[in-house]
Amino acid sequence: MNKQQESRTNMFNAVLQVLDEHHAIFDTVPALSTAASDLRANLLAISACVEKQVVDLRGFARDKLGAEQAMMQAAVVVAKGTLAYATVSGNMVLAGKMSVTRRLLERHADGVVARHCQVVLAEATAVGAALADYGVDAARLEALEQAIRRYEAALAAPRLAITARKGATTELVLVIRDTQRLLATRLDALMERFATEDPALHRAYWNARIIVDRGRRAKEAPEQKAA
């Protein structure tokens, strides 16, 4: 949300506050009551957009790092146990595939490290129950599979958050424009009757309608020259 949008939103909230304070009066005018409800709904939509805009991506980065560390650790344990089995059984092809170290995995790009761990899981699963004596049972294989899934989800989360934030920025522009139209074409018109029926309400409403630009100093109105 930029400063101009913030100023307009503050004005919208000020208008709603005036309407809430005088609800006993305008509740007798159904169209005015409905317009006030629509204004409240739009302000909730604006708040939702702002919440999406201020998502802190650093939390996603920390979560991805933690998931990656857990996945690599699980993969190395499975690989080492399978390597021991392959060595004893003379399966040199399998032993070559299981020559996996943490340092090797850390050199991979984000997308590649998960695929390498997936290969370790697939090869170990193919051996099956024979690995149980080497500390690689079904529970350990399941733990590696879950660790891979968690890492892949953590890897995609920042991109989804960025996409949501961009969408929220576009939506915010539309909601603020719609809210401005709501005031200009409905609330402003419906408040005109109170200029004579309830001057205090009419004055409070139009005072709330003033947009205060927080980035600029308000200019004083020029003095009128005497006739």
Nearest to 186 by CA among 205, 213, 207: 205
- Identify the burial level of 225 via C-beta atoms within 10 angstroms of its C-beta, where 0-12 means exposed, 13-18 middle and 19 or more buried: exposed
Q: What are phi and psi of 28, to 5 degrees?
A: -80, -10
Lowest mean pLDDT among 1-10, 11-20, 66-75, 77-86: 1-10
Per-residue pLDDT, 158: 66
pLDDT at 91 over 90: yes
Higher local confidence (pLDDT), 143 or 156: 143
The span from the CA of 10 to the CA of 27, in Å, is: 23
* Mean pLDDT value of segment 161-178: 79
Q: Give the tokens for residue 99.
A: 């020559």
Whether 114 contacts 155, CB under 8 Å: yes
Distance CA 194, CA 11 (A): 20
* Tokens describing residue 46: 């604006």
Cα dihedral sign, 36-37-40-46: negative
CA dist list (Å): 40 to 144, 175, 190, 210 = 49, 12, 17, 18
Whether residue 18 contacts residue 188, with contact meaning beta carbons closer than 8 Å, is answered with no
Give the C-alpha separation, 40 to 156, whole Å: 34
Tell me which DSSP letter residue 128 carries: G
Task: Judge whether residue 79 has pLDDT over 90.
Answer: yes
- Model confidence at 170, pLDDT cuts 50, 70, 90, reads confident
